[in-house]
């Protein structure tokens, strides 16, 4: 039987073959291949191409080549720096993500970066600095507010449902804007939803946000009410939203929906469930602000490359605004950006919560939920363009099919758009 198998595999002349010679030849080939690999690695190290080394390290981890991985990590540690050039700084956090992936510690690092340090007032100041030096957040909030103000210009009772209110900063400018509306301001009710674990960033619960907004509304003579819902987006149900008859509803999804698990993670698919919930409210407008990248369903290596390309643009833009040795800049990057990078690279399944999607995918989800695009007005577009004039000229603003894209050079970073309910019939 063995002879028959040998004949089938090697042919009828197998008996004439020197099996020892074949084995020796095989070993020689392996040695040759291994030598070529190490020659390539030495050349790569000599070139000092940080991107190339990071990508090779990620591929070594993916193929479970531990010897190559250890060698590359040791080399990379000498090349990255949290106070170096943009790629060196990003490389430091990407390397941390790779090490965490190896140790299966990505989730604990993500939680530690979020919940442990820094103290609440410090984190607020870091987020404020990021908000000021990079227009991404300001752009998202301003464009969403413009869409809401436009949709509510004839309404006397406005209810805004914010699915991730954070510090509530978005609504300061909208309250001010509506206070000066011809004919007087509407009464404004804001339902602020936020995961209870986010309380660390405020130094307390959602009542702090309510007090801050209420104080501004009183100074502007705007009738105001705040409704807090300290629950995760995955737990939100209709009864949590405090809907009242006769109010015009706006739903705000600003940099929030990508945290919701979709069909690739959870059979409940909260990403689409929340869109259906929003549709059931018959809102006047729904605003979406999201990162223009795919870190959701992409396999590890394409996801690693996408993360590198996306965040290198952000780190380059920060470099224009703050000196490299600036301590505040280091803190901003460590506490506001590093945790996302680590989570995207190190985690899988339920533990990977930073799951960005490209606008094309969001568009499919909104249409499937029963929405149709509501293009932003020329006034909103002009306001955003005016905002960008105070920043570096490498920022770009492009409108395509009613969607605004804010980018850095040739890379779109944030997409912002508005939606309304599809009219039946």
User: Looking at the domain that runs over 127-297+347-421, which CATH code has it been given?
Assistant: 3.40.50.150
Contact 299, 310 (CB under 8 A): no
Alpha-carbon gap, residue 370 to 389, rounded angstroms: 37
Alpha-carbon gap, residue 139 to 301, rounded angstroms: 30
For the chain, the domains span 127-297+347-421
Alpha-carbon gap, residue 306 to 225, rounded angstroms: 42
Radius of gyration, alpha carbons of the chain: 26
Under DSSP, is residue 377 helix (H, G, I), strand (E, B) or coil?
coil
Which pLDDT score is estimated for 10?
Answer: 37
Which pLDDT score is estimated for 24?
Answer: 56
Q: Please count the other Cβ atoms lying within 10 Å of the Cβ belonging to residue 26.
A: 10
Contact 158, 200 (CB under 8 A): no
Which pLDDT score is estimated for 390?
Answer: 86
Return per-residue pLDDT of the chain as tens, 425 residues.
Answer: 434 333 333 344 444 546 565 555 555 565 666 677 677 777 777 787 999 999 999 999 999 999 999 999 999 999 999 989 999 999 999 999 999 999 886 567 666 655 344 555 666 677 778 888 888 888 999 999 999 999 999 999 999 999 999 889 899 999 999 999 999 999 999 999 988 766 555 566 788 899 999 999 999 999 999 999 999 999 999 999 999 999 999 999 999 999 999 999 988 899 999 999 999 999 999 999 999 999 999 999 999 999 999 999 999 999 888 877 777 888 889 888 998 999 999 999 999 999 999 999 999 999 999 999 999 888 888 888 888 888 889 999 999 988 999 999 999 999 999 999 987 43
DSSP 117-166: SS-HHHHHHHHHHHHHH-HHHHHHHHHHHHHHHHHTTT-SEEEEEETT-T
Which pLDDT score is estimated for 278?
Answer: 98
Enumerate residues 6+ apart whose C-beta is below 8 A from 386: none
DSSP 281-320: T--SEEEEEEESS--SSS-HHHHHHHHHHHHHHHHHHHHH
Which pLDDT score is estimated for 11?
Answer: 41
Q: Which of 140, 186, 189 is nearest to 160 (CA)?
A: 189
Alpha-carbon gap, residue 322 to 330, rounded angstroms: 10
Alpha-carbon gap, residue 408 to 376, rounded angstroms: 21
Which pLDDT score is estimated for 128?
Answer: 77
Which pLDDT score is estimated for 45?
Answer: 75
Enumerate residues 6+ apart whose C-beta is below 8 A from 313: 407, 408, 409, 411, 413
């Amino acid at each position: 039987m063995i002879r028959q198998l040998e004949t089938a595999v090697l042919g009828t002349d197998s008996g004439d073959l020197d099996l020892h010679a074949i084995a020796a030849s095989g070993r020689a080939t392996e040695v040759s291949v291994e030598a070529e690999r190490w020659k390539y690695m030495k050349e790569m190290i000599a070139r000092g191409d940080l991107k190339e080394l990071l990508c090779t390290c990620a591929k070594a981890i993916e193929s479970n080549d531990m010897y190559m991985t250890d060698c590359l990590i040791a080399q990379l540690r000498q090349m990255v720096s949290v106070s170096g050039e943009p790629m060196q700084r990003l490389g430091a956090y990407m390397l941390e993500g790779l090490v965490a992936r190896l140790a299966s510690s990505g989730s604990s690092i993500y939680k530690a970066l979020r919940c442990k340090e820094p103290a609440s007032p410090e984190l607020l100041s870091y987020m404020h600095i990021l908000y000021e030096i990079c227009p991404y957040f300001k752009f998202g909030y301003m464009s969403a507010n413009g869409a809401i103000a436009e949709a509510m210009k004839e309404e006397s009772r406005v209810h805004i449902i914010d699915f991730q209110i954070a510090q509530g900063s978005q609504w300061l400018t909208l309250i001010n804007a509506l206070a000066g509306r011809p004919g007087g301001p509407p009464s404004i009710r804001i339902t602020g939803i936020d995961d209870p674990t986010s309380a660390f960033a405020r130094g307390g619960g959602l009542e702090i946000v309510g007090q801050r907004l209420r104080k501004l509304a009183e100074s502007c003579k705007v009738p105001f009410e705040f409704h807090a819902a300290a629950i995760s987006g995955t737990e939100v149900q209709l009864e949590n939203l405090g809907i009242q008859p006769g109010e015009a509803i706006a739903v705000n999804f600003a940099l929030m929906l990508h945290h919701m698990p979709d069909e690739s993670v959870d059979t409940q698919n909260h990403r689409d469930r929340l869109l259906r919930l929003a549709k059931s409210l018959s809102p006047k407008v729904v605003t979406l602000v999201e990162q223009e990248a795919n870190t959701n369903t992409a396999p590890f290596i394409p996801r690693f490359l996408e993360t590198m390309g996306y965040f290198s643009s952000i780190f380059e833009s920060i470099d224009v605004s703050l000196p490299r040795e600036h301590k505040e800049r280091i803190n901003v990057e460590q506490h506001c950006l590093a945790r996302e990078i680590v989570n995207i690279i190190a985690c899988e399944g339920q533990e990977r919560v930073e799951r960005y999607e490209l606008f094309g995918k969001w568009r499919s989800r909104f249409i499937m939920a029963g929405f149709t695009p509501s293009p932003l007005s020329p006034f909103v577009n002009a306001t955003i363009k005016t905002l960008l004039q105070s920043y570096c000229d490498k920022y770009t603003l492009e409108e395509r099919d009613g969607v605004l894209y804010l980018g850095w050079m040739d890379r779109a970073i944030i997409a912002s758009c508005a939606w309304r309910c599809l009219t039946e019939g």
